[in-house]
Structure 1
Amino acid sequence: MAVYKSNQSNETPICDTMERLGKFQRIQYVFSFVATLLVTITHINYVFVAGELNYRCRVPECDELNKEYSPIWWPNNTIDKCLKPILRTDVGPTCNNDSFTDDYEDCKEWIYESNETVIADLNLGCQPWKVNMIGTTHSIGLLLAMIVSGWLMDRFGRKPMFIFCLVGSCIGHLKAFTKNYYIYVLIELIEAVITGGAYTAVSVLMMEIGGKKTRLLAGVIFAFGIYMGESVFAAMAFFVPYWKSLLKVIYTPPIFILSYVYFLKESPRWQIVNGKTDLAKETLLLISETNNVNINKDELLSMSGEDLKKEFKIENCQQKETFRDAMKSKEIVKRLVIGSYARFAACFVYYGLLINSVSLPGNKYTNFFLSSVMSYPGDIMALYLMNNVGRKITLVYGYIICGLLCIASVCFPDDYTWVNTAFFLVSKMVVSGCFIGIVTYTIELYPTSVRGTLIGISALTASIGNILAPLTPIMKTFSPILTSLTFGGLSIVAGLLLTMTPETKDSALVDTVEQVDREINLQESTKKEKMKGQINESYVSNEEV
């Protein structure tokens, strides 16, 4: 065994090895940022790959020789693209504007303006439900992935799930070779199921390799990876509009994530909790050497698995905790329900606002890009407030303010366009901060032993919000204010529920369910003793009087 010299006067406790933000965390955060960017692009591929396309009905008698989208012989009157104009019986060999009657019939074939999206190649004209089903199927796949990804991450580790999900996204290449709609949708579903656990694995790993001061920074970097992925994807689609070429650009880079087998490191906390003592020691030594943290290396190497768990305040060493153990704790159940609802509300409102932004005038690529850019100031604001004020209070006020802004946006007449636009942009900025803030907060609320499973459940509820968000424009057919009122109501309820959860700023990550219950019991006992003391003081004061 190697013997290391230690400077006793400037020695850092082993349990604080990861507290300092150093070169190790920066390198791992860069790897995680790149991976988040790549997986985000795959998750939103259908926005442009299956984007809307202009088309018209094909008239076989007139389209035999030249199949143009805007022919000079097309009738002058406006015709629904799902209807076919009927020719007169006395039409000559050449069609012109007067060759048609005023009657129409259902269209069976279409002429597309271009083949930039799958609508043309899969012949999805006048079948909007099929087009929308591509994105919905992807969201359903993500939801299915959330059901098992958390458990797999707790069982096999953060790093293996991280790499598997990213590299598995390469299956998306197969979509470029299919001519059948149902096969295309099946590949979309399989791709989403494989990649769906990536967000959870990346975010949890980033949190667990840092200290109390860096957890929120890790969450913001993770969120920036998502927003940057959205922005980069808009640029990709602008310069590579043809969907098959765009798929190649999207799904080729993730193959290089295989190199992460050598560069990415596993979470030491997961290694300790799961009895990977030797691997945990290697990781902790690497962190201390990379960050120039002076720890007693000989002491670390001589520690047993039990000693390491005690050093990092990881208790309940004898038995691994399961999801069933977590569900026996009222406090864990309360945190899970509130955290899951808050993530659902953030996801639903975030993507709902993003989807409804298409009604804004301008180029679709530019609008999508600007919607993504608006998320950056929200995250920067969340980073500052959650680090300096607190996680809980920032999220409580953030959700409530977002809800009030959404409701206020329907209180002004349509003539005040600039006011409504301002409310939209500020709402988008605020909900962006809540969107990433609640991810960081829920990770801190759940214990390490079942964190992956509980985060997976919370991510699953967030995916439900992602599935429902595309339906929000339909709500405007019932009432023009219903969508905004729904966004506002959900946000305010989330803010009120979060008042029932604890503050986690500057707190160490909890590792076991038993530890959470013991802390809650201690807090309740302290509160009762304090109240009892106040009652006794009041009684004594009355006696003296």
Structure 2
Amino acid sequence: MADSTPLLSQPDSSSSPDTQKPQPPPPPRNQQHPSLGSTVELCIGEFNWSQFLQSILVSLAWIFDAQQTFISVFTDAPPAWRCTEQAGNACKTANTNTVCNLPEGSWAWDGPTQASMVSDWGLECANSSITGLPASMFFAGCLLGGFLLASLADSSLGRKNMLFFSCLVMAITSFLVTFSPNVSIYSALKFLCGFARATIGTSALVLASELVGRRWRAQISVIGFFCFTIGFLSLPAMAYINRSSSWRNLYLWTSISTMLYCILVKLFVTESPRWLLVRGKTEEAVETLKCITSITQSNLNLAINNMSHEEETCDVDIFSALKILLQNKWSSRRLSSIMAMGIGIGLVYYGMPLGLQNLSFNLYLSVIFNALSELPSALIVLFFIDKFNRRITLLLFTILSGLFSVMSTVQVSKSSSSWNNNVQIVFELVSFFSACTSFNVYLIYTTELFPTCVRNSALSMARLAVVLGGMFSPLLVSAGRGNKFLCYGVFGLVIGFSGVFGIFLPETKGRAFCDSMDEEENKEKNMACGMLLA
């Protein structure tokens, strides 16, 4: 027993170098497992048809989002009227644009009484606050829903379930609108519809971008913008077909198609593998990746097993995602800057089409031109987003939109009114096109600025700022009826100034997604150190 210790220590003290066996070098002390973000990028693999079809199916939600956003343009508009034969010349010579000053029986609606909720409920002489109440309640619901539901997709429900339930509730309330007996019930249902609709765009955009790798996420995001334009352009066709029927049919058609889409989402859409891994649902993430990945099963399991298990899982509840965003200096700075930009962009994006009535140009043509201008905007983002510096692009397009918005209020020629009208609508179209491009880049930029665990919440707050800006636009449009500068002039100044907030944000072009707050914060510190060393 006394000799045991010397025997154990003998190789270290007395063995010669010739008799010692070579030992492997110790592992480096700073060796780390692959991060969650790099693991997801590896597991997703190359872009394939499964990812493309999944992204298309998710992005279709924007069609129904656009339909409910703009449907009141046709259902709540006062229909055309005409003088009756019994009225004689009293009606024809009357200098009025409304029927309120005409005797009963001297006029009649051109179409059926049920063509609009205004004629259906006899609101042709009601105060503008009454006839505009349903649309106002819709945007009020969007604001409240955007705030209260902002973090559900990041916490308990996830991207897929949030998209499914939002579309389903929106479809149900839209269906119930067809049974509205009066404007009060109609407005309450519009509020619920807007409340449910608030998270559809954000859930669809985030889910589609997280189903593909870094190389294709921007292009896939643009698909949603195309679908939104398609939804907007589908309304005039539906309204034209329905011109001889009740306004309720528009809500019926759109609600049924949305319900059918909800079935497709429930059966065929997969959950975001990034969100599943962040939430610690590894088995579900592996099953999801099997459906969309291009790598083999063995490599998939190996990558998941080698992933670092020490990363932040960001186990958030309903409101803690917003709390996390605000309690970190870097994330609160990003959120405040991005929301300041959103208010200016939203003011013009929603206000420009409303303000067309203040321009002396054919209203129907101008609305069509504005809707079509979103297509080249989406195409530019689709093909050139990989080449765009996010901050510079937002700054340039917001300034361009502001400049042409102000120019649309200026009379070019005092002698030719038609020339002025044509020039003003061209300036307005350039301004709206620039605002659409800014809006598209703005949404993509927001998804890149925040990590997976709070990405949906941050994007919801960004869209909430856009809706907030849009709520001020009707007031400016009303004020601009007497002075165009109070409408388009103010639009231009606000959006032009909003782009300046982008200089306080980091550039994200070509950068991989981060999945945790710690990972994003470390990247922020490394970027700051690099700038100091440079």
TM-score per shorter chain, which class?
0.7 to 0.9
Cross-structure match for 1:234:
236
Deviation at 1:119, TM superposition (A): 0.6
Return the offset for 1:367: 4.0
Q: CA deviation at 1:16?
A: 2.6
Letter in 2 for 1:43: T
2:528 aligned residue (510, 524, 527): 524
Q: Please report how far the alpha carbon of residue 111 of structure 1 lies from its aligned counterpart in structure 2 after TM superposition.
A: 5.1
1:74 CA drift (Å): 5.7
| Residue-by-residue CA offset, 1:363-415 (whole Å, 9 max, x unaligned) | 63x54333211111122223333311322222221111211222233344364
Seen in structure 2, the aligned counterparts of structure 1 residues 135 and 83 have a Cα distance that, compared at 3 Å, is closer
1:6-50 CA-to-partner distances (Å, cap 9, x unmatched) read xxxxxx976333353321221112212322112211222111011
Q: Does 1:494 align with 2:498?
A: yes
**What CA deviation, in whole Å up to 9, does each residue of 1:484-517 have, x standing for no partner?**
2212212222221112211111101122222222
1:350–1:431 CA contact under 8 A, matched in 2:
yes
Asked whether the 8 Å contact 1:409–1:424 carries over to 2, the reply is yes
Q: Which residue of 2 aligns with 1:196?
A: 198
Letter in 2 for 1:388: K
Q: Deviation digits for residues 276-324 of structure 1, max 9, x if unmatched?
A: 1101011112212xxxx234x335336668x5456xxx93248657432
Give the residue type in structure 2 aligned to 1:24: S
User: 2: distance between equivalents of 1:356 and 1:323?
Assistant: 34
3-state SS of paired residue (1:177): coil
Name which of 94, 98, 105 aligns with 1:78.
94
Q: Which amino acid aligns with 1:78?
A: A
> What do the CA deviations read for 1:44-93 (whole angstroms, capped 9, x no partner)?
2111011122458xxxxxxxxxxx75644361531544645679xxxxxx
- 3-state SS of paired residue (2:497): helix
* Distance (Å, rounded) in 2 between the aligned partners of 1:315 and 1:498: 30
**Are 1:419 and 2:420 matched, yes or no?**
no
- Give the conservation status (yes or no) of the 8 Å contact 1:309–1:317: no
User: How far apart, in 1, do the equivalents of 2:314 and 2:453 lie?
Assistant: 13
Partner of 2:148: 148
Q: Give 1:315's aligned residue.
A: 311
Corresponding residue for residue 355 of structure 1 = 354
Counterpart residue identity of residue 21, structure 1: F
Q: Is the contact between residue 234 and residue 368 of structure 1 (CA under 8 Å) also seen in structure 2?
A: no
Give distance in 1, aligned partners of 2:202 and 2:84.
45
Residue 210 of structure 1 pairs with residue 212 of structure 2: yes
User: Per-residue CA shift, 1:308-364, capped at 9, x if unaligned?
Assistant: 456xxx932486574323212211111101111222222210121111224454463
Q: Deviations over 1:425-470 (max 9, x none)?
A: 1112111111111011011111111112222211211111222222
> Residue 153 of structure 2: SS of its match in structure 1?
helix
Contact 1:219 1:437 (8 Å CA) reproduced: no
| 2:246 paired with 1:247 | no
Whether the 8 Å CA contact 2:314–2:453 is kept in 1: the answer is no
- Alpha-carbon distance in structure 2 between the residues aligned to 1:357 and 1:51: 15
> Counterparts of 1:318 and 1:248 in 2: how far apart (Å)?
41
**C-alpha root-mean-square deviation of aligned residues, in Å?**
2.6
Which of 23, 44, 49 aligns to 2:75? It is 49
Residues in 1 aligned to 2:519 and 2:56: alpha-carbon distance in whole angstroms: 33
CA separation of 1:401/1:442 partners in 2, compared to 1, >3 Å: closer, same or farther? same
Q: Which amino acid aligns with 1:131?
A: T
Inter-partner Cα distance in structure 1 for 2:314 and 2:204? 28
- The alpha-carbon distance between structure 1 residues 486 and 522, as it changes in their structure 2 partners (threshold 3 A), is same
Instruction: List alignment gaps of at least 5 residues for structure 1.
Output: 1-11, 57-67, 88-94, 98-109, 531-545
Classify the secondary structure of the residue corresponding to 1:165. helix
Distance 2:324 2:56 in 1: 35
Q: Distance in 2 between matches of 1:14 and 1:151?
A: 22
Matches within 5 A, 1:465-476: 465-476=469-480
Matching residue's letter, 2:280? G
Does 2:176 correspond to 1:174? yes
**Aligned-partner SS, 1:152:** coil
How far the C-alpha of 1:253 sits from its partner, in A, is 0.6
In 2: Cα distance, 1:324 partner to 1:85 partner: 58
> In the superposition, relative to structure 1, how do residues 418 and 189 fare at CA in structure 2: closer, same or farther (>3 Å)?
same
Aligned to 1:28: 54
From 436, 441, 452, the equivalent of 2:440 is 436
Matches within 5 A, 1:394-405: 394-405=393-404
CA deviations on 1:125-183 (whole Å, 9 max, x unpaired) are 21222111111111111111101222111121000111111122222122222222111
Q: Could you tell me whether the CA contact under 8 Å between 1:403 and 1:489 is conserved in 2?
A: yes
Report if the CA contact (8 A) 2:219-2:385 is conserved: no
Contact 1:343-1:439 within 8 A present in 2 as well: no
Q: Show structure 2 runs of 5+ residues with no match.
A: 1-37
Q: 1:38 aligns with which of 49, 64, 79?
A: 64
How many angstroms apart in 2 are the aligned matches of 1:319 and 1:249? 40
Aligned residues: 478
Partner residue of 2:30?
Answer: none
Matching residue's letter, 2:311: E
Q: 1:214/1:79 Cα in 2 relative to 1: closer, same or farther (>3 Å)?
A: same
- Which whole-Å CA distance do the structure 1 matches of 2:510 and 2:88 have between them? 72
- Counterparts of 2:361 and 2:204, CA distance in 1: 36
Task: Quote the Cα distance in structure 2 between the aligned partners of 1:248 and 1:74.
Answer: 41
User: How far apart, CA to CA, are the structure 1 residues paired with 2:430 and 2:302?
Assistant: 55
